Amino acid sequence: MNSPLLPRPMLRASVALLISLFLGLAPTASSAAYLELAPMLRHVSSTEARIWVKSSESTKLSVRISTKPDLSGSRTVRGPKLEAGSGLMGHVVVSNLQPGTLYYYSVLLDGKPATPRPYQSFTTAPAEGQPGHVRIAFTSCV
């Protein structure tokens, strides 16, 4: 007469999946690290920038940087391995930058992009002793 909403085998599989999710036993599709916090620009001078991140698990941090929005002609700057001892946090110091220049960047975790397009950007400070405009922003998680 009335057919169930789900066939019996599918209903059993659904219940088993829900139980395993509840117990934390479900297989993960991927154990790739991802960004839990950031990226956050820490300090930008006329020739370098520090980019901070916190990952979900142990991973190798690096940053691709370019003056082009699509990151063509980019270079990769290697950073530290993020491990439990550092709270899975760390930063990359990107040096050899040009003063007063707009840069685009992408964070890489284990060599794979962790930030989507459009890529984030920043402008380096003017050369020391040169006039220019500097913007400062403060953030908080409180």
38-96 pLDDT, tens per residue? 799 989 999 999 999 999 999 999 999 999 999 999 999 999 999 999 999 999 999 99
**137 is written with which tokens?**
């922003």
How far apart are alpha carbons 93 and 15 in whole angstroms? 49
Report angle CA 39, 67, 118 to the nearest 5 degrees. Answer: 50
Residues in the chain: 142
Over its C-alpha atoms, the chain yields an Rg (Å, rounded) of 22
Question: Which range (10-14, 77-81, 131-135) has the least confidence?
Answer: 10-14
What lies within 8 Å, CB to CB, of 70 at 6+ separation is 119
Over residues 19-39, the pLDDT tens digits come to 555 555 444 555 789 999 979
Other residues' Cβ atoms within 10 Å of the Cβ of residue 40: 13
Closest to 86 measured CA to CA, from 41, 111, 55 = 55
How far apart are alpha carbons 94 and 97 in whole angstroms? 7
How far apart are alpha carbons 7 and 138 in whole angstroms? 56
Q: Which residues pair with 52 in a beta bridge?
A: 40, 91
